[in-house]
Amino acid sequence: MVVQYKCPDCGADMAFDSTTGTLHCDSCGKNMNIEEMDSSRANGKESHTYKNNQEESGEAHNHQEEVNEYQCNNCGAVLITDKDTTATTCSFCGAAVVLSDRLSGSFAPSLVIPFSINKAQAQDAFKKWCKKGRLTPKGFMSASRIKSITGIYVPFWLYDLNGLGTANATCTKVRSYERGDYIYTETDYFDVHRKVSLNYLKVPTDASEKMDDKMMDKLEPYHYQDLKGFQMPYLAGYLAEKYNYNDNDLFHRVESRVQQYVDNYISQTIYGYATTAYHFKDINIRKLKAEYALFPVWMVCYDYKQSEHTFAMNGQTGKIVGKPPLSAGKIAAWFTGISAAAFLIIKIIAILSGGPIL
């Protein structure tokens, strides 16, 4: 089912506005508070024409896999979508379109962090970030090379986890002192036991096949004070994807991450010893809950020397990740600069310590 938002005052297309956090009409300026919208209206169950070739059935679950062709309610154009797309814009009339059947059943997100950085701000921030890259080739910084900048809601799982850690270690304290002609070393041995139970809430992992895991991890942190109960209008005007991996598929990723946290915590509680030798350590991570959430990401495609570079920006905080190409010439110049400076310092020291000059 295709959901589109029409302005109740003037009938124009509405889209989510990251500055006000509302559903906004560009033509008359009307803003609608999404949290106050009645959910049948927000999620398009009301009067919209139903234009795909499937009958609506209780099994939202099964039928969502089968629908692949959607039509724009505005202009009738066929919407070109990837199988994982859940929100897009009509390439003919530009209207924001949400595909509600791909956001239902087990694919219904429970939480969302809405975009708070708009396209113009994202573009400006990216230009500024480019200028800082002193080692990139000349001409790379030109903002005109930005090929596309796309706001995407990326699917994430947020895990609540419990980490149970047990460790036994032998630790030592060493004291040495001199008496007469002898140096004495005294070693005390301690049996150290630790048992900890730690809860971690909402540990995120991206669940999209298309997104590079490392890049997504680096976009963290997301601030959870902006987490909202999911409503479809937040997606209006953006691209959105559904998950390719369920929470069980990705558990091993958060498991190893949180194992590390518990391990570090145990190490931090054992201090004041000269040596620590573990002879037993067991860390067990248990899933308490996993919630499906959508997080905002700006993807920037950048053209340089016939190849494309991709950068990602956290759509909530503006943090940018990605690797610009390095210029060999500039790196050489940079190192020459450094060695010249180092040489200068050595010379000054030589002069200061050389008596005759004073």
Q: Which two tokens stand for residue 213?
A: 């895991």
Got the DSSP string for 61-120? Answer: HHHHHH---EE-TTT-PEE---TTEEEEE-TTT--EEEEGGGGSGGG--SEE----S-HH
Q: How far is the CB of 30 from Zn ion (least distance, A)?
A: 5
Q: Which is nearer to Zn ion, 155 or 233 (CB)?
A: 233
Q: Which two tokens stand for residue 301?
A: 């495609």
Closest alpha carbon to 16 in 270, 221, 232, 206: 232
Q: How far is the CB of 153 from Zn ion (least distance, A)?
A: 20
Q: Which is nearer to Zn ion, 158 or 232 (CB)?
A: 232
Q: How far is the CB of 29 from Zn ion (least distance, A)?
A: 7
Q: How far is the CB of 81 from Zn ion (least distance, A)?
A: 13
Interface residues with Zn ion (CB under 5 A) are: 7, 9-10, 12, 25, 28, 30, 72, 74-75, 77, 90, 92-93, 95
What separation in angstroms does the CA of 321 have from each of 19, 55, 63, 324?
23, 43, 37, 10
Q: Which is nearer to Zn ion, 26 or 188 (CB)?
A: 26
Q: Which is nearer to Zn ion, 73 or 316 (CB)?
A: 73
Q: Which element (helix H / strand E) includes 316? A: none
Q: How far is the CB of 150 from Zn ion (least distance, A)?
A: 18
- Type of residue numbered 71: Q
The three-state DSSP-derived secondary structure of 228-242 is EECCHHHHCCCEEEC
Q: Which is nearer to Zn ion, 74 or 267 (CB)?
A: 74
Q: Which is nearer to Zn ion, 9 or 282 (CB)?
A: 9
Q: How far is the CB of 5 from Zn ion (least distance, A)?
A: 10
